[in-house]
Every structure is written in C-alpha cells, then in structure tokens.
Amino acid sequence: AQKVTQAQTEISVVEKEDVTLDCVYETRDTTYYLFWYKQPPSGELVFLIRRNSFDEQNEISGRYSWNFQKSTSSFNFTITASQVVDSAVYFCALSEAFGAQKLVFGQGTRLTINP
Amino acid sequence: KAGVTQTPRYLIKTRGQQVTLSCSPISGHRSVSWYQQTPGQGLQFLFEYFSETQRNKGNFPGRFSGRQFSNSRSEMNVSTLELGDSALYLCASREGGGTSSYNEQFFGPGTRLTVL
C-alpha cells in the first residue's frame, strides 16, 4: 500500500527565513509520481510540482525548490526567503503512474510565516 | 478555460438527512475524482468516475455514492448523514482517463459540509 508521511504538523517562522517541509513516502511501485500542493485558507488545492520517479533531479522555481531522493524515499520542499503569502497548509502526495492514479496525501504541514 | 466548479460551496445539514454535491469538470475533461478532507483523517480518496462508470473507490461506507453524467458532470451523494461526515469535499478532474499515461488532476474549490 502507498503511504505518505509529513512528520511536521506545524511550522512557524519569521518572514525571510528559509524553511524546509519534509515528506517521506512508501510504495511498491517502480514508477510513480510525487506532488506538492498548497492549500490556502480558501480551501482549494493549488498544484505546485509533479515529479516522476525516474527523475531525481532537484528542481528550483523562484523561491521554491524540491529535493527528491529515491534512496531515502523523500521528497522535501524548501521555501527560500519566506513571505507572509506563503502561509498555508502544504500537502505532499503520491500517485501510481498508471491505473487509477488516485492521489494518496500526507497529513499536511501548516506553515505560518510571521511578519 | 473555466476551472473545476463545485456547488454548493457551503452546506449545513442535520444528522440523518442526505446530501448531494455537484462537480463540473474542466471542459474536455472526462474523469472526475472526489476526495474528503477532515481534520482527523486528512485528505482521502472517495471515488473516480470516467465515462459514467465508477472505476475506483476508496474505503468509505456504502452511504457514499456518486454518479457521472454524459456531459462528464458528477454528483456525489451521502445518505443518512453522520456528524463525522462534516468535511470539505473536493472534486478533481483530468483530461481523458487513461490508465496507461499520466493526466494531471485539477481541483475545484470544494464544498464545505457541516452536519449538525
């Protein structure tokens, strides 16, 4: 069975600090996808990134970066120079590459950026 | 293109009642999935519909059901509501519904159901 663990329930930092959100996953599939979603107070899930299990290259998008390590089954998310607008709940998710492709989510990390 | 829309956005019901939630996918998308989000259980997959057929179902009791229409719009129904059914119900749509290639899922704003 697939499982995603986000051990950090809540994180609070001061604006401009760097923050890393941890994600550890379990799957027996050799091909799968990993995701990060942001959920602002409005409730809608906002897609941030999708990563194929065969692509372990780190990715950077502006202040966001992702570190995928298959050896440790981790897919961590770092926000550099955090801003108040980054405050939200962040979810890591896992999906099989084929078949039903349902998303299995972690419990989420509530990130609060204080001015 | 318009995004995924869900109606109503907020709903209050009492125990024992039933409720129907609606989801209109992005134009051209044929697959619709439903997820339940609660503080205790987090985000959990309910079911997926493609071409009016339920293809996959999560671990939920039979009180939770759904259907999909020929225009790909989907409804989910919860009968005999319980307090624990209070949740944010999210709908996601994706193009096609292929099982041999990946299709991105796009989420709607959700329907917040409160059961009193």
Tens digits of per-residue pLDDT, A29-63?
888 999 999 999 888 899 999 998 988 888 888 99
Nearest-Cα residue of chain A relative to residue B3: A44
Kindly indicate the confidence band of residue B81, based on its pLDDT and cuts at 50, 70 and 90: very high
A46-52 and B29-38 as β-strands: parallel, antiparallel, unpaired? Answer: unpaired
Distance from CA of B108 to the nearest CA of A (A): 6
**Paired tokens of B75:** 């409804």
| Average pLDDT for chain B | 92
A7: region left, alpha or beta (phi > 0 left; psi from -120 to 50 alpha): alpha
| Predicted local confidence at residue B100, as pLDDT | 56
Asked if the Cβ–Cβ distance from B45 to A98 is below 8 Å, we say no
Chain B residues with CB inside 8 Å of A38's CB?
A: none
| Predicted local confidence at residue A45, as pLDDT | 92
What count of residues does chain A have?
Answer: 115
Sequence-separated (6 or more) residues with CB below 8 Å from residue A54: A31
Residue B58 pLDDT > 70, yes or no? yes
The pLDDT tens digits of the residues spanning A3-27 come to: 999 999 999 999 999 999 999 999 9
| Predicted local confidence at residue A59, as pLDDT | 87
Chain A residues with CB inside 8 Å of B102's CB?
A: 33, 95, 97-98, 101
Cβ(B7)–Cβ(B19) below 8 Å:
no
Asked if the Cβ–Cβ distance from B42 to A97 is below 8 Å, we say no
Distance from CA of A33 to the nearest CA of B (A): 9
| Predicted local confidence at residue A42, as pLDDT | 85
Distance CA A54, CA B10 (A): 41
Residue B113 pLDDT > 70, yes or no? yes
Lowest mean pLDDT: which of A98-107, B14-23, B29-38?
A98-107
- Residues A105-115, mean pLDDT to the nearest whole number: 97
